[in-house]
């Protein structure tokens, strides 16, 4: 049995058939997972200024760039193991650099709220065994985490839900479009306008308090009745919901307070994004957007916290997110580990990448690796190297090494980079 | 999926009974159920109906690779989510500690398996649509939002 690093579900029931040190066939993994486990078609080669070199020279050059930089930034880590993430944080500390991951433009806010224990949350095994009302809010689990519905939430029979989806469970989808998840929810799909989540939450809070909601009263009252009857409900909050109410997370906290049997779970895409958030939270008290300055740690948005026990000062500011750092052109070197900002960020923002030296650590050729000053190939974590990762519900899962590889792991590379510094 | 009426509209509609069926509509039903071939309708093979015959062949092409139960899996549409594996009542009965609870199948008695990210049907004789006492089961089609499984 192997663990799939395809998405944050980290399915650990995958069978693989290995032939000549290559994965020939995967069983039980979804299409996304199978593609990830079979490796990349276009393997990254070590290079400096797009000219091939050996890994050692590439590491030395990367160390040189980072040493000279006045305001370096480390970004990515959502597709790295926890061990590599810890090394990344140590490297940022050593450099006095900004460190951020994809969660600053993804589910970071929601995960931070969960770490602050403002919401009740639960494990996916509890969902399988107990949940009777499942709300997919702004999330298309069927496409983003393909095995979510079949492995944990809607279809399986659980200890207290022996009749599974046929009788014991109700799935509700709230989304701006009829996604594939909404197609499965059939009679319980509530279409909302883009950015209409706030209005919907307020109307639902009214309905749960016994008032007639101002917005689509018939549908909202029907939904409120379903939610009230729930014995164990879960709201799977997707990026659609988080983006829509990011300025006002408190209204979701208020809704969760009204629903005493409900739990909230962030739908995470990258396989170890939550791991990075946990590791950084442990170290600094923040989940992303952190700047280490000498002995001080700054975090965005501008919030200064004293942690005398560690002898450091923490500052919290939006300008340390990758989006703001690129927009303000405030960084002069960037190390990207296991991420592809060029393909995931808007064109207007990534323009700055062309004018600064970028170091790319990745197993495969990406759009970012094509414009970088230094490329350093690493092993595919979860396939060519083992480690630990954190599932979307916070459970630690061991990743297994399936095939042998000559490539160093990202943890090893970051350690060597630190030594070179 | 093609309907009986679509097939009927392309037949000669003369109720000539040469094929052995009482009407052309009955022949269309048999054609859809894969009990008859297009070549059983001899007037259709004559020159006047050449275009209709070609259209019929195109319409019936997807069902050519169907299993005995009429099941067709479109691998290009499948995302490997495994909803059908867990929802199939036969899989639940045959593998209560594996497929039934959302985990990987623990034995070979299950009908659906996900291989290389795409679903594959096996043990088709276990399917509720197979055999004399078959029932019109939709358990694997309903949970598939991409339409990767269909019965013809």
pLDDT computed for residue B60 by the predictor: 79
| Mutation for testing the B interface, residue in A11, A14, A28, A145 having most B CBs under 10 Å | A28
What residues pair up with A320 in beta bridges, in sequence order? Answer: none
Q: What CA–CA distance (Å, rounded) separates A286 from A294?
A: 18
- CATH 3.40.50.740 maps onto chain A at 42-104+273-420
pLDDT tens, position by position, A282-293: 888 888 888 887
Mean pLDDT of chain A: 88
Residue B72 has pLDDT above 90, yes or no: no
Assign domain A42-104+273-420 to a CATH class.
Answer: alpha beta
Scanning B109-138 for CB atoms below 8 A from A yields 113-118
Neighbouring C-alpha atoms within 13 Å toward the C-beta of A244? 23
Scanning A135-174 for CB atoms below 8 A from B yields 142-143, 146-147, 149-152, 155-158, 164-165
B91 contact partners, CB below 8 Å, separation of at least 6: B85, B99, B100, B105, B110, B111, B112
Q: What CA–CA distance (Å, rounded) separates A127 from A283?
A: 30
pLDDT computed for residue B44 by the predictor: 84
Q: What CA–CA distance (Å, rounded) separates A79 from A87?
A: 14
Tell me the two tokens of residue A254.
Answer: 């208020």
pLDDT band at A296 (very low <50, low <70, confident <90, very high): low
> SS3 for A396?
strand
Angle (nearest 5°) at CA A381 between A10 and A397: 35
Nearest to A155 among B87, B96, B114 (CB): B87
Tell me the two tokens of residue B72.
Answer: 């067709």
The strand pair at A51-52 and A47-48 is best described as antiparallel
What stretch of H or E contains A359?
strand A358-362
pLDDT computed for residue B128 by the predictor: 85
Q: Provide the percentage of residues in chain B whose pLDDT is more than 90.
A: 32
pLDDT tens, position by position, B75-114: 899 999 999 999 999 999 999 999 999 999 998 889 999 9
> A14: which chain B residues are within 8 Å (Cβ-Cβ)?
104
Q: What CA–CA distance (Å, rounded) separates A46 from A201?
A: 50
> SS3 for A13?
coil
The DSSP symbol for A212 reads P
pLDDT computed for residue A306 by the predictor: 43
pLDDT band at A310 (very low <50, low <70, confident <90, very high): very low
ipTM of the complex: 0.86
- Nearest-Å Rg of the Cα atoms of chain B is 19
Q: State the average pLDDT over residues A192-220.
A: 89
| Mutation for testing the A interface, residue in B73, B77, B80, B144 having most A CBs under 10 Å | B80
Distance from CA of A132 to the nearest CA of B (A): 15
Residue A315 has pLDDT above 70, yes or no: no
pLDDT computed for residue A60 by the predictor: 92
pLDDT computed for residue A305 by the predictor: 46
> A184: which chain B residues are within 8 Å (Cβ-Cβ)?
83, 143, 145
Q: State the average pLDDT over residues A358-373.
A: 91
CB contact under 8 A, B82 and A28: yes
Q: Enumerate domains of chain B plus CATH numbers.
A: 4-65 (1.10.15.40), 71-151 (3.30.70)
The runs of H, that is alpha helices, within A292-384 are 322-327, 341-344, 347-350
CB contact under 8 A, B81 and A146: yes
pLDDT computed for residue A237 by the predictor: 93
User: Going along A239-357, which residue ranges are E strands?
Assistant: 262-266, 290-293, 296-299, 304-307, 312-315, 333-337
- pTM above threshold 0.90: no
Helix A82-95 and helix A410-420: axis angle, to 10°? 20
pLDDT tens, position by position, A3-20: 999 999 999 999 999 998
| Window from A91-105, A175-189, A229-243 with minimum mean pLDDT | A91-105
CATH 1.20.1560.10 correct for A108-266: no
pLDDT computed for residue A32 by the predictor: 92
| Window from A411-415, B70-74, B112-116 with minimum mean pLDDT | B70-74
Neighbouring C-alpha atoms within 13 Å toward the C-beta of A56? 0
pLDDT computed for residue A354 by the predictor: 86
pLDDT computed for residue B33 by the predictor: 77
Residue A1 has pLDDT above 80, yes or no: yes
Handedness of CA A334, A337, A342, A346 (dihedral sign): negative
pLDDT band at A378 (very low <50, low <70, confident <90, very high): very high
pLDDT tens, position by position, A50-93: 899 999 999 999 999 999 998 899 998 999 999 999 999 989 88
CB A39 within 8 A of CB A365: no
pLDDT tens, position by position, A211-247: 888 888 899 999 999 999 999 999 999 999 988 888 7
> SS3 for A91?
helix
- Report the side by side order of strands in the sheet with A47-48: A51-52, A47-48, A374-377, A358-362, A333-337, A72-76, A98-100, A290-293, A296-299, A312-315, A304-307
């Amino acid at each position: 049995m192997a663990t799939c690093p395809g998405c944050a579900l980290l399915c650990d029931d995958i069978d693989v058939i290995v032939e000549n040190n290559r994965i020939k066939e995967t069983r039980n993994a979804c299409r996304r997972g199978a593609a990830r486990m079979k490796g990349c078609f276009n393997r990254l080669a070590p290079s400096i200024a797009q000219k091939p070199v050996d890994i050692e020279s590439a590491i030395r050059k990367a160390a040189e760039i980072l040493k000279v930089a006045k305001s370096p930034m480390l970004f990515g880590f959502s597709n790295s193991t926890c061990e590599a993430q810890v090394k990344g944080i140590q490297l940022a500390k050593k450099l006095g650099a900004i460190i951020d991951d994809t969660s600053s433009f993804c589910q970071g806010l929601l995960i931070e709220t969960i770490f602050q224990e403002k919401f009740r949350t639960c494990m996916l095994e509890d969902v399988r065994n107990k949940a009777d009302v499942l709300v997919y809010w702004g999330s298309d689990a069927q496409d983003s985490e393909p095995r979510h519905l079949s492995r944990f939430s809607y279809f399986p029979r659980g200890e207290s839900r022996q009749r599974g989806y046929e009788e014991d469970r109700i799935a509700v989808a709230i989304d701006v479009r009829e996604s594939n998840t909404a197609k499965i929810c059939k009679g319980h799909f509530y279409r909302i306008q883009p950015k209409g989540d706030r209005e919907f939450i307020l109307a639902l809070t009214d309905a749960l308090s016994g008032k007639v909601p101002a917005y689509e009263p018939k549908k909202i009252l029907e939904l409120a009745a379903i939610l009230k009857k729930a014995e164990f409900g879960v709201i799977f909050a997707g990026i659609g919901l988080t983006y829509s109410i990011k300025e006002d997370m408190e209204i979701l906290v208020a809704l969760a307070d009204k629903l005493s049997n409900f739990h909230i779970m962030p739908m995470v895409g990258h396989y170890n994004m939550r791991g990075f958030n946990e590791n950084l939270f442990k170290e600094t008290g923040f989940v992303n957007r952190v700047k280490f300055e000498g002995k001080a740690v700054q975090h965005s948005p501008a919030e200064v916290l004293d942690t005398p026990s560690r002898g450091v000062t923490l500052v919290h500011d939006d300008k340390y997110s990758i989006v703001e750092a690129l927009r303000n052109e405030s960084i002069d070197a960037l190390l990207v580990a296991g991420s592809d900002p060029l393909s995931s960020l808007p064109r207007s923002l990534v323009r700055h990448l062309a004018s600064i030296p970028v170091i790319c650590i990745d197993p495969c050729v990406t759009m970012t690796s094509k414009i970088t000053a230094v490329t350093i190939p690493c092993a595919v974590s979860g396939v060519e190297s083992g480690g630990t990762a954190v599932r979307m519900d916070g459970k630690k899962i061991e990743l297994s090494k399936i095939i042998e590889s000559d490539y160093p792991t990202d943890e090893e590379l970051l350690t060597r980079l630190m030594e070179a510094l | 999926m093609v309907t009986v009426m679509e097939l009927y509209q392309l037949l000669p509609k003369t109720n000539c009974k040469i094929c052995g069926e009482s009407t052309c509509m009955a022949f269309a039903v048999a054609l859809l159920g894969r009990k008859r071939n297009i070549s059983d309708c001899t007037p259709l093979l004559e020159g006047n109906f050449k275009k209709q015959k070609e259209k019929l062949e195109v319409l019936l092409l997807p069902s050519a690779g169907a299993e005995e139960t009429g099941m067709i899996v479109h691998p290009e549409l499948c995302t490997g989510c495994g909803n059908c594996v867990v929802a199939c009542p036969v899989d639940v009965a045959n593998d209560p500690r594996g497929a039934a609870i959302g985990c990987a199948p623990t034995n070979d008695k299950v009908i659906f398996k996900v291989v290389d990210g795409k679903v594959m049907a096996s043990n088709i004789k276990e399917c509720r649509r197979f055999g004399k006492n078959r029932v019109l089961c939709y358990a694997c089609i309903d949970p598939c939002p991409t339409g990767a499984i269909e019965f013809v």
